[in-house]
Amino acid sequence: MDFSLSDDQKMIVETAQKVGAHYGLDYWRTIDKAEEFPHEFWRAVCDAGLCGAALPETDGGSGLGMLDLVLIIEALAAGGGGSTVGQLFMINPIFGGVSMSRFGQPGLRAEMLPKIISGEMNACMALTEPDAGSNTLEIRSFAAADGDGWRLRGQKIWITGVPDAQKMLVVARTRKLEPGMRRTAGLSMFMIDVEREGLTWSRIDKLGTHTLASCTVFFDDVRIEPGELVGTLDGGWTELLDVLNTERLVTTAGLVGTGQLAIKLAVDYANNRKIFADRPIGSYQGLQFPLAQCHAEIESARVLNYKAASNYDQGLPYGSEANWGKLLAAQAVSRATERSMQTMGGMGFARDSHVERLWRDCRLFRFAPVSEEMVLNYIAVHDLGMPRGY
């Protein structure tokens, strides 16, 4: 087991650090306030060849591994963007890229992937429904056969990046659940245009992650063309899980970078702020210990995520490690941003301190893209062999 980075990996990280630093804290503070998509940042990421890092060279990517991608995201997130950087990689190279490179049909794959990699096209992913929530198998959106294609009806909620996306990966039922049928059967994935007759959306007012709009989406008889089916008709469940597990890796990487940034901001502040004595508040163990604890926790999540990514690259099972890493990272970073704010006292509450944005944004990842309770359910059932309690 070798934890050292190769020279190539060091170079990639350096490139990502440069892009991350160029679009630093003030850039993110401005677009967060304006609730604008980080177009300039994402263009720079794509121009530096980082978006397509883990996508195949035959599709215009760099053909590097998932571990390389994880390193890139950590460095970019630590530059100022925080956990939103993980989400950007989630919606574009994962939902738009991995889904197509692994399961897309040749025509759409050739049309989409170069544009996703160059940043000319953005994607989003529509899985969650108001009445199904974490119980994905209860989704009701239904794509009924219509000639050579389908007609989609239904509703989704919390779909992120819709206003700035051209393509949407939609998960729908293509067979109604019948008695005796496995609940995992009858699900399919489609890649459709966001601008299409019958597809409407409205923006949800929310606590954080303001640069990426989250929306309710309505499908009213939306036509789906045959070439837009992604993967196997009626058999999309396991293919969907394949896409979702890679989503965990990029989420965790974004969180790890956020945790490092939050701790750095707190340490810089504490080492310069003098109160009560001629020594900085950073010398008080009451402030040091919680930050030191958070540091150890974030580094643990980081190592776990490296193992998951490395397993993925070697074609080994990685689902459990990906879930453990995401669980620990979301909790650790939630604490780290909270402790960072506490360390700064009143200044932590000021937007200029930046930590309030990191704190707001990272809170999301304790219940999305999968909630910590559902990860614990997974661990209890799949890793520990306990009976399913729900």
168 touches ligand FAD (CB under 6 A): no
Closest CB to ligand FAD among 71 and 126? 126
133 counts as binding ligand FAD under rule CB under 6 A: yes
Q: How many residues bind ligand FAD (CB under 6 A)?
A: 23
Q: Judged by CB under 6 A, does residue 367 bind ligand FAD?
A: yes
**Site string (78-117) toward ligand FAD, x via CB under 6 A:** ----------------------------------------
Q: Which of 274, 373, 382, 386 binds ligand FAD (CB under 6 A)?
A: 373
Q: Does 340 bind ligand FAD (CB under 6 A)?
A: no
- For residues 172 and 44, the answer to whether their CB atoms sit within 8 Å is no
For ligand FAD, which residue has the nearest CB? Answer: 133
Interface with ligand FAD by CB under 6 A: which range of 62-70, 73-81, 206-214, 339-347?
Answer: 206-214
128 binds ligand FAD (CB under 6 A): yes
The span of 194-202, 304-312, 334-342, 371-379 binding ligand FAD (CB under 6 A) equals: 371-379
Is 364 one of the binding residues for ligand FAD (CB under 6 A)?
Answer: yes
State which residue, 102 or 366, has the beta carbon closest to ligand FAD. Answer: 366
Asked if 43 interacts with ligand FAD (CB under 6 A), we say no
Contacts with ligand FAD, residue ranges (CB under 6 A): 124-128, 133-134, 158-160, 206, 209, 214, 364, 367-371, 373-374, 377, 390
